[in-house]
Amino acid sequence: MTVTRRTFLSLAGSTALGVKARALPFAVSAPRFAYVAAKGNAGGLYVFAPRHPEWRSLEFVPAEQPVALAIHPDGRTLYAIHEVGIFRMLPRGYVSAYRINQQSGTLKLMEVQPFSLSATFPGHLAISPRGRYLIASAQGGGAYNLFPIAEDGSIGHVCSIRKEVGCDPCSESQGLARPQAVLFTRRGDCVLTVDQGNDSVSILDGSLSLRARAALPHGTGAQFLAIHHSSQIGFISGSHSRTLLTFRYDAAAATITQPVTWVEDSVSGPLALHPECRTLYVPTIGGIAVFDFQESGNIRRIQHLDINDGVLEPQSLQFDPSFDALFMSGSKGVFRIATNGVSGRLATPELVSSVPHAQSVVFI
């Protein structure tokens, strides 16, 4: 299947969906089930009933190195990408799809689909707003893969591939392109991405052709990305420079309208946005920094939540569907951090699951 821009636009949809941030047009009830991906000796997929103060375990599904999860917009299918270098004796990663039992929350493997050859060690994925496409980045091989999703939630063979090239000439540790975070725009007709190797932020269209690109400061090591759809502001965290950067974009024109600018040092890791409070959350060496961007062009830190250093090493920050709590996945498990719905400020973290080496958490 060849995907053109017109085909992609007709299928991608017009409603906003994003694991990092999405609009809340109506009241959302508390989540019924939580799904956690974990690596290591106890690696696999964990299913929980997310009751406060401690989650109740429902099921464990063995899985090979799952690192990122996504839920289909209809809530019936869970997708996981697996950070491996070899799949079925060939150099590539793979993605799996699981049917979710709506009564029990348990999972049933539907299928797996391989990435293109040489697209190894995938780490990030996103689902288009209407659930017709899955895009994933593979840092090994420097590739993006686009997969079609059928009406029943199953995944088709790779329908579009983009191979990145280039590197940061000022950093010996950035000798190759290493695609990282991927996020769909509100309409779903474009994808924003960052690359840790060539230090860039890009906008790709439905055929994965490049529409716009902006260079980042040398040595940034861009890894995580968050976008606020209504204000069209983007944020980037760099794993090498430990800096927070911001930029503006125009989704309709698929352009980057304001150059990347510096916000703050000593921050690094996954990003999360609260769409109602217009607050940004990003880990620091000793906790989580909270930034307010209510005023146009004014981004200011409003809180630093101090957390014991032994708790950190966060792999993801994720809100539940009601946006009343932020969940941090890391080496010691999953922590729940209550969020003030008016100010966006954070309360003291609570350990809700002790799954070791948790990588990602999603909810239905």
Is the CB of residue 347 less than 8 Å from the CB of residue 335? no
> Across the chain, how many H-helices and E-strands are there?
1, 28
- Cα three-residue angle 45-94-235, rounded to 5 degrees: 80
The whole-number pLDDT of residue 311 equals 55
Grade residue 285 by pLDDT with cuts at 50, 70 and 90. confident
Is the model's pLDDT at 334 over the cut of 80? yes
Tokens 């809340």 identify what position? 24
What type of residue is 23?
A: A
A 10 A CB-CB count for 271 gives: 25
Structure tokens at 54: 């401690």
Q: How confident is the model at residue 4 (pLDDT cuts 50, 70, 90)?
A: low
8 A C-beta contact, residue 320 and residue 24 = no
Instruction: State how far the Cα of 332 lies from the Cα of 309, in Å rounded to an integer.
Output: 12
Compute CA distances 345 → 181, 253, 274, 280, 301, whole Å: 25, 34, 10, 10, 11
If one counts every other C-beta atom within 10 angstroms of the C-beta of residue 62, the result is 8
pLDDT tens figures, 188-233: 999 999 999 999 999 999 999 999 999 999 899 999 999 999 999 9
Cα 151 to Cα 73, 77, 120, 142, 358, distances in angstroms: 11, 11, 28, 30, 30
Which helix (H) or strand (E) segment holds residue 59: the answer is strand 56-62
Buried (b) or exposed (e) across 244-259, using 16+ Cβ within 10 A?
A: bbbbbbebeebebeee
Band (275; pLDDT cuts 50, 70, 90)? confident
Please say if the pLDDT value at position 348 is more than 80: yes
Burial status of residue 14 (CB atoms within 10 A of its CB: 0-12, 13-18, 19 or more) = exposed
Over range 294-305, report the average pLDDT: 84
Q: Do the Cβ atoms of 164 and 195 come closer than 8 Å?
A: yes
Q: How confident is the model at residue 28 (pLDDT cuts 50, 70, 90)?
A: low
Per residue in 174-185, pLDDT (tens digit) is: 668 999 999 999
Taking residues 261-284, report their average pLDDT. 92
Helix (H, G, I), strand (E, B) or coil at 359: strand
Evaluate whether 136 touches 81 at the Cβ level (below 8 Å): yes
CA 134 to centroid of chain Cα atoms: 12
The CATH number, out of the four listed (3.90.1150.10, 3.40.30.10, 2.120.10.30, 3.40.1440.10), of the domain defined by the range 164-268: 2.120.10.30
The ranges assigned to domains in the chain are 1-12+30-162, 164-268, 269-364
Tokens 């050859």 identify what position? 117
Tokens 């995580």 found at: 224
Rounded to an integer, the average pLDDT of 60-85 is 97
Cα four-point dihedral sign 238, 240, 243, 245: negative
Whether the bond between 53 and the residue before it is cis, its omega within 30 degrees of 0, is yes
CATH number of 1-12+30-162, picked from 3.40.50.720, 3.40.250.10, 3.20.20.70, 2.130.10.10 = 2.130.10.10
